[in-house]
Structures are given as structure tokens and as C-alpha cells.
Structure 1
Amino acid sequence: MNSIKYLVFSVLLLAALAGCEKGQEADYDDNFHPRIIDNNGVFLSPNRIIFQGQSAVYSGLMFSPKPNTKTKVVWKVNDKEVSTDTTYTFTPTAGGEYEVKVEASYNGQVSTRISKVLVSPTTYTFKNFSHVALAYLSENGTAKQVDWANVTHVAFNGAKVTPDGLDISKGQVNQVTDELVAQAHINGIRAMLGVSGTLSGIDGWSLYQSNNFGNAISDPGRRAALVAQIATYVKDRKLDGVDVMMTDLSDFGERNIAATGPFIAALRAALPAESVITITVTTNWMHWGYSNLNMVDWVNVHAFEDGAISPGSPVAQPSSYEYMIAGANIWKNNHGPASKVVVGIPAFGLRFDELDGNGNNLGWGSYSYVPYSAILAKDAQAFGKEMTTMDGKTVFYNGIPMVERKADFLKVNGFKGAYMWAVDYDVIGTNSLMKALNNKLK
């Protein structure tokens, strides 16, 4: 009996093997959906960023069924067929955004893998502008938060001065800096690296009693090392310049500010000749401490958030029209000319979270900052106002009418332009503050 069972099993096995040798029809029926097996993870990240002249290599893929007369592999770049091989190397000859797609088809069924490749161009032409409209990204900003049609320059606060040197990790994660530079150059925009110490929050000021930046530039040896690090990073990442965001002012403000002159002189000598160098400056009494700034292309004046948030301070607009004018005129009248002054406008609001018995700010920690985008999310009509409420708390901010009024003043009075801190707090579209600012300045 066992011998009979064995004989039957052997016959069936031989029949199955014979069937397999007849062709893939025995293994894969007409309804089989082909597969693209990516063991090497070449499509693991759907987005790649490369410089023109570099290549994006797609290899190590397996296809099931294996490619034959009934299984076809096709590679496409921006929907144009470029190869039928099982591997593909994409070497772009121009900057831009590309879609690399591989298709495996079998009996009319298709599997697809897609990769987006952003190519930073080797040659590009910067667009002309009458006034600077600088979009400043915080350390958490990305290129996707920039409306490229409404900016003339972009800066990314992607370099932090620490006791150990220059921390550029924020720009390295997911190639944030490379993506920003690529998109900027594709759109004819200069991309700058913002260098700062540790900031306290979204307002763009330094952490209280933090002097990492000031300590570094006040010491000749450390200053030289820092300049070398910045220059190397700017050149390697194809950046177009640097903004020196010197806001370490609490304990050694005068010393730190005095050191910005030698620091900028060293940067100018180390960076490519065409680099843009700017500096973000204060509007308080310490402005007198700045040395010769002839070597900067312009100064960015932090003329927003007046600092009236001490215990008992009235609940009021901290970034008023009048405060901006006063800050702008400090630099126009005492350091001049206006044509080298770019004035800051906020894309965030101040919320008073706790009040005292008189209805004033309760204390040093009784307020918070809110991005403009979050304000709009709570109040769809906030774009046309300067004050609203969030969760029952009063929030003051700059809406579109205020931004347009400030831009008008700057344009009429001969200032070089304005910058927005930070543009990743803004929105893109009809209610964008950056769009309103640029439309008034251009």
C-alpha cells in the first residue's frame, strides 16, 4: 500500500516539475500582479536631493516574475521612457525637479515605484528686485514653507554656535539645507545661512544669559576656527551668504557686539567674493556698540516685540507700527543710510495667558508666543486684524493690514526692504503675510 502511495506521489511531483519547465504560465496565471522587490532600499526614501553632475543610482531590484517576453521593465523620467534595463542611473544635465519611475508589467497588470529627485543647478540667474523681501526660516523651517514667487532672499537659521563649535545638524537632517539651496537656485533666489547662539523660543532672541556666540567671536583663536567652519559649510552646500544673528546680549552685550566687526571682516575674507553678508541687530541702547559695519551688505533690524512683558505690563500690541518706525529710524539716523536697512516684521503673536487683578500681565512666565498659522487656524478672519482670542486668552499679532502699512512706510522712506521672522510661522496663499509684504515692496 505504501509503495502505491509513493508511486502516485512521485508521478504527481514529476508532473508538477514538468509543468514548471514549460514556462512561467504554470507559476503565474494571467491575473498575477507583478512585484518590484527593493531589497537594497533604493526607493526607501521617496525623495532624493543631488547636485547637478551627481547621479541617482537605482540598482539591486528584483522583479517577480523575472523579466522575459511577458514581463516588461520600463524606466521613465518625467513620464518619458529612458530604459528597459533592470537597473538605472539618472544623471541630470540641468537643475530642477524630476520624477524617476520604474514600471513592471505582466499580462496588462503594472507595479510601480517612484522616486522624486531634486537637482540643485550648477548655473542659475538671480532675479532682479527693487527691495529686499527676505523670508527668514527658523531652525525648524523647510523649503516647503517658502512661497518662492514672493521672496527675493531666503535665510535659514541652520547654524548654532555652541561651546564645541558650529552645530549644523538641523540642516543636515533630511538634507534640509540642500533642499533649500536647490529650490532657491531653481527659482533664482539667494539662500543664506543664519548663524546664531541658542534662541529662547520663536521670537528670535537669545536664551537669557547664553553667551556661546559672543564667547566664540570675542576670542581670536575661537573666532578664526568658527569662521573656517562657517566658510567650509557655505562652500560645500553652495549657499550664497551668511546672516550673523548676534543676539547674545544679556551679560556681555557690549563685548559681544564689539566683536562682530572683526568677525564679519574675517567672514568677508573667507567666503567667496560674491557672498552676501548681513547682520541682525538690536534696537535698544546697545546699538551704539556696533563697530564699522561697512563690510555687510545690509543690516536686519529686529524692530518687533518691544519687550514690554514684565509683571504688571498692560495687555497691548508688542509689535506696533510705531515701534517698528522707532527701531528703523535708530539705524537710519545713527548708522545709515536707509538703503542698507532691512526691517523685521513678525509672523507670530504674543498671548497673555494670565492676568493680575488689574487686568495686566501677571508675571515673567505668564505669556506665550503663537505662530500666525496657529492664530489663523483658530480664527479664519484673523488675517484682517491685530488682535483675537485663543482659548479665551488675548493674542496680539500683525495681520495683513499692519504688514502692508509697515511695508508702505519702508518703501516710501527709502529703506532697503523687510524680512519676516519666521516665514515658517506664516501660511502660503491668499492670507500670507509674506505675500502681502512682497506685494507692497516690489
Structure 2
Amino acid sequence: MEAAATTEAGREIEKLLALHPKGFDLSLDRISRLLSALGDPHKRLPPVIHVAGTNGKGSVTAFSRAILEAAGLSVHVHTSPHLVNWHERYRLGRKGGRGAFVSDPVLADAVRRVADANGGQMITVFEILTAVTFLLFAEHPADVAIIEVGLGGRFDATNVIERPAVSVIMPISLDHQAYLGDRVELIAAEKAGIMKRGAPVVIGHQEEDAARAVLVETAERLSCPYTVYGQDYLAYQEFGRMVYQDEFGLFDLPAPKLPGRHQFANAAAAIRAIKASGLPVTEHAIERGLASVEWPGRLQRLPVGALAKVAPASSEIWVDGGHNPAAGVVIAETMANFEDRDPRPLFLVTGMINTKDAVGYFDAFRGIAERVFTVPIRGSDAGIDPAVLASDAMEAGLTAAPVSTVAEALQAIGRIVEEDTVAPRILIGGSLYLVGDVLADNGTPPT
């Protein structure tokens, strides 16, 4: 994550972090009061695609943006958390081209204005930063805004949007149980809170029948026209391409640029959401979007960079911020598919925070990973001690050892494989915070 004093906006946000409580306090009262003081910018947005879910919401956001930009539309995008710089949370659309992260002076000015409007009243920093989203998106014209939920849905600060063009609910699994509940149907009810009466809803692939049932019941109760993955639309791989099908027909499309079989379902949800929103998009734009999509820190390959140089020669290095058991399953499946095509020993370099099910995450890699090296999360009070995390990995049946840094882990891997003829495959992940530090240290931040 970004050092405190590297940018003007970063310094302004650090001031707020010193004044206001960290973490989440789920409510819409404070954000509503603040937005009212700012002139209700959330009511002056372009059509909004509002995205919630435990896993996959970042990918569907990336696919939607890529497709819409390929269609020539200007697209604002709000995501969280950021990986390296605060500016990544705010991508401002450009007509006929690729949007760009907000500039430092513009972001710093927006943060100051929102803080001034708050007048020192009790609020969380996430709520202030969400108000910044609405202010920026209202003051810079665009054709569409994609807004990703921060946590949950019903009481998330983004949920002041009154009438989205479409609400998208991606796969739901157990995560953030302290805030959202300890059963998947309770979490689904929180995520379903972004649905608005009569507004279209797209339900992504759900592994859990209980979650799907809650989402469908909520959509029906609110008279929302809804579509469900696997029932009303779907996607599958055929001859190295992606076939998308819904009630209107099918598209024969290139396979998504983002790796992993799960990305077919994520891409399908994006296509269906754009269709449901009524935004003008052609099959050609969908093709171009699938071929050009980027999503930093999620199964992202690191072919070059300062850390890449530390790894054994010809290593294949991947980073991914997935941090719960469901994410572990799809990441491990992707690694196994890589192994089928190009056999290499797989090593994990993992750091996690203490709100996550580390054993559940590691369990997905049993029989796949050669060894795990656990590392601290730099600058986080919530990081799991590497020795404890290594114990969690061993509980899941993996061979593991704690080290002090990612670079030390890469050097240790080098010593293990120096006698082998096959260069390793290395997955660095378990936390978006760790991935952000790795991208910064490697000299390859998101752009």
C-alpha cells in the first residue's frame, strides 16, 4: 500500500486516518448526511452498474469496463481496496478511450472538500472516500459508472444509489463473518441489499443453493427483472473459445484474457449486466473487451521487475489477492490447469490477515503445492504472524516455513530448485495488501 507522504492526496487521506476510526461501521446515516452537505452528488451520476459479491466482483467490473470502453463509451470505475496508490480507487472515463486514474491534484482537492463538508463529525474514512467517489463522478461527465461495493451491500456506503441501471451479485461465500453473518444465506441477504425495487438484477454463478435462493427471493419481492447464471444465461469453453448464451441467442467469442476457468462465468455476468442495463454494445465490442481486459493483482503474471529478478531464472511468477477458501479453490484449480499444460513445481508465498480462514484457503492447494513460505503483511496490525500462518498451512497438509520477506522466500525457493532442471511456478498471494506491497516493490504498480 501507498506510503503516507508520497502524494498530496495520500497526505490528505493520512490526516483523515489519524482523525477517524479505522475499519467499518455499517450504516447509511453518516454517508447520507455528508452527501447532503455536498449537494447530493450521488443523484447526479450517469447510469450505474452496481456490483456486489464475495468473489468475482472485481473481475466483472474489469470485464464490464473493457467491453464498454471497446464500445467507445466513457466509463467511471470505483473499486476498493487499492493495491499501491489511493488513486486506483477512482478511474475517470475518457470519451472514446481508456479511462485513467484520477490525477493527484484533483483527488487531493476532492478529499479536502469532502472532509470540510463533514466538519469533523463522526464518520469512517471509507465513507469519506466513498463520498469522494460520488463527487468526482458527478463533476466529471461520463456515459456510465461502475461502482463496486466495499463490504456487504445493504449498509455499504455505496448503497445510497437510488436507481442503478443494473445490480450485479457475484458469487457469495463465507467472508467478513464478523460483519455479515456466519451463514452463507445471511451474507447473501446483506449482498442482496443493493437491489432496488424494479431495477434489473443479474445474479452471477452461485456455488451455494442457499445463497442463490435468497437472491432470487429478494429480486422477486422487489419486483426486479432478474437473470440467474446457469438458468437464464451461461458461458462455456469450446475449442479454445468462449460461447455465451442467453434467451436472445449466443455469441462465439474469444476466450477471456484473464486466466482461469472461473473467468468464463465472470465474463458472462458482465455481458448480461451490460445487456440488462440497456447500454449500446455490439458483439464486436464484447470481443474486443474480452481480448483486452486487465485486472491487476488477480492472477497477474510478473515477467519482469525488481522482485522477479530475485527469483530463480525462468521462474513463472503469479500474484493473486484472493484470500478466502472459495478464492483458494479457483486459484488452485487454475494452477493445476497450468500444471497440465506446462509441468513445474508450484511454490506458494503467502501472507494473510487475521480475519481470514487461512486453513480453508491452504486446503485447496493440498497435493498441488510443493512448499509454502509464509511472510508478514508489511505495515498491518492485522497480519497473521508468519510462524502461525505456517502452522495453518501445515494443518492443511502442506509443507511450510516462515520467512521475513517475499525476497527471502524467493531466494529460499532458488536454493531448493537449484539442482532441478525445471524452473518453478511461484504464486504470491493470500492478501490484497501483500499483493500491493509486491507490485510496489517489483516496480510494476497498476496503471
- TM band (smaller chain): under 0.3
Higher strand share: 1
* Higher RCO, 1 vs 2 (CA within 8 Å, ≥6 residues apart): 2
Higher helix share: 2
Q: What TM-score, normalized to structure 2?
A: 0.27
Q: What TM-score, normalized to structure 1?
A: 0.28
Structure 1 or 2, whichever has the larger Rg, is: 1
